[in-house]
Amino acid sequence: MAQPVSLAAPADRLMTPTMRVAKLVLLGGSVVAAIIFPFIFTNPAVTSIAVFTLLFVGAASAWNMFSGYTGYMALGNAVFYGCGAYFFANLASHLDVKGGVGLFAYVPLAGLFAGLVAIPVGWLALRTRRHTFVVITIAIFFIFQLLAYNLTGLTNGSSGMQLPIPPWNAATYNTYFYMAALVVAVVAIGLSWAVKRSGFGLELLAIRDDEDRAAGLGVRTKRVKLATFVLTGFVTGMCGAIYAYYLGSIYPPFAFEAIFDVTIALMAFLGGLGSVSGPVVGALIIEPVQQYFTLRFTGGGLSLILFGVLFLAVIRFLPDGIVPSLGAAFRRRLGAAKAAVDEPVSELDTLGSSTSEPTPEVNGGVPR
């Protein structure tokens, strides 16, 4: 009695084998391009922006893995960034390690530390529901910032900490950091993708749509949320460690920066919350822009004004983010026959959507 139903994804069903190959080629091509990038564009100004961009790709993906998938907006991830940074700095100084490639090996340790910090932080913050949750993460962020200033034994307070300077020459300096940041970014994207495809990811997305019902169906919501939160901490911590290493020194207001939290949220938003490639796209667009603003409009408030306006424009005009919007347009062109079913009926849910495939992403359905 059951009609034969294709179990392929809606978009895949419509894709010819040629297109599927094209998608893989595109993915492979991006990876290759990313790897050879610093060797082609050797201008240190460019590669410097690239390093920061990759760090944000990682941090935004990590943020999205929790906040995008579960819908709990965390605005305190800078806590992990800063903890990773300071742990790394402390490790380097206590172990008396010289600058060099070897020091990168400690980055995952910094990530682990940040992940550990995420356990009590997450436990505390996740006791509350969404509204209060956001505020708690903000409050915790400020506590950590204050701790950075006050726990001078660990952080040297406002005097900051120095990191070992690696012995590379000016031409290749950025390249090492670029590669390290690329590795972390790939890890972040990989984790994000793996989580989304897994049953674990299904639980997160169910929590986003209807947490109580998910719990009622047997999902261990507390555990799942905390586990993801810790993963986010881990990745973000690694980004923070590389950041500290790259800058060569680190101070409380830079390690724990309020704007960081908002920036990664904006990036995920722009690219598309809940999609794997969204934060990547968002970071690739916004970070170079932000760097440009900072360099061009130093001192004045112009960079802030522009950033804020950009932010508002994104929320206003692209509430679903780039990737889901593109995905929907793509599917519309391909699926004339299925258009009636696929096309969103009315106002779209602004937190984006998900399917089990990494790309292209599908737009949200009718809100309830």
Partner 1 sequence: MGTQISKAVVDGILTGGVYALMAAGLTLIFGVMEIINIAQGILVVLGAYMSYTLLTYLHIDPFIGLIFTMPLMFGVGVFIEWGFIRRLKPQNRTALSILVTFAIAIVIEGLLTQFFSSDLRTLDAWYVEKSLHVFGFYLPYIYLLGFALAVTLLGALYVFLYRTRAGQSIRASVQNRTGAELIGINISRVSAMTFGIGAAVTAAGGMVFGATNSFNPNSGYDLISRLLVIIVLGGLGSIGGALVAAVVALVIEDVTAVVWSPVWASTMFFAVLIVVLLIRPNGLFGRPEARVQ
Partner 2 sequence: MSTLLEVSEIKKTFGGLQALGGCSFAVEAGKVTGLIGPNGSGKTTAFNIITGYERPDSGVVRVSGVDVTGASPGRVCGLGIGRTFQLTRVFARLTLLENIRVGSRGVPRSKRKVMYSDERCLELLDFVGLSRMARDLAGSLSYGQRKLVELATVLAQEPRVILLDEPAGGINPTLIEQMAERIRELNKGGVTFLVVEHNMEFVMGICDTVAVMERGIVIAHGEPGQVRQDPRVLDAYLGGALEDETPAVGGPLAGAGTGDPGTEDEL
Contacting positions for partner 1 (CB under 8 A)? 71, 73, 75, 124, 127-132, 134-136, 138-140, 142-143, 146-147, 150, 210, 212, 258-259, 262, 265-266, 269, 300-309, 311-312, 315-316, 319, 347, 349-351, 367
Rounded Cα gap, residues 249 and 246, in angstroms: 8
CB closer to partner 2, 308 vs 365: 365
Interaction residues for partner 2, span 237-296 (CB under 8 A): 274
- 159 in helix, strand or coil? helix
Rounded Cα gap, residues 264 and 287, in angstroms: 10
120 binds partner 2 (CB under 8 A): no
Rounded Cα gap, residues 331 and 270, in angstroms: 20
127 binds partner 2 (CB under 8 A): no
> How, if at all, do strands 249-250 and 161-162 pair?
antiparallel
Rounded Cα gap, residues 283 and 290, in angstroms: 10
CB closer to partner 1, 152 vs 356: 152
Q: Pick from partner 1, partner 2, none: which does 5 bind, CB < 5 to 8 A by kind?
A: partner 2
| Cβ–Cβ under 8 Å, residues 240 and 63 | no
Rounded Cα gap, residues 175 and 114, in angstroms: 26
Report in angstroms the alpha-carbon separations of 334 from 275, 276, 343: 20, 22, 12
355 binds partner 2 (CB under 8 A): yes
CB closer to partner 1, 43 vs 158: 158
Binding segment for partner 2 (CB under 8 A), chosen from 33-41, 118-126, 181-189, 218-226, is 218-226
The count of C-alpha atoms lying within 13 angstroms of the C-alpha of 26, restricted to the half-sphere facing its C-beta, is 9
Q: Could you tell me the smallest distance in angstroms from the CB atom of residue 36 to partner 1? A: 36
Identified binder of partner 2 from the candidate list 153, 167, 199, 300, rule CB under 8 A? 199
CB closer to partner 2, 7 vs 40: 7
Rounded Cα gap, residues 251 and 253, in angstroms: 6
Q: What residues line the site for partner 2 (CB under 8 A)?
A: 1-3, 5, 7-10, 199, 202-203, 205-206, 208-210, 212-220, 274, 341-342, 344-345, 349, 353-356, 362, 364-368
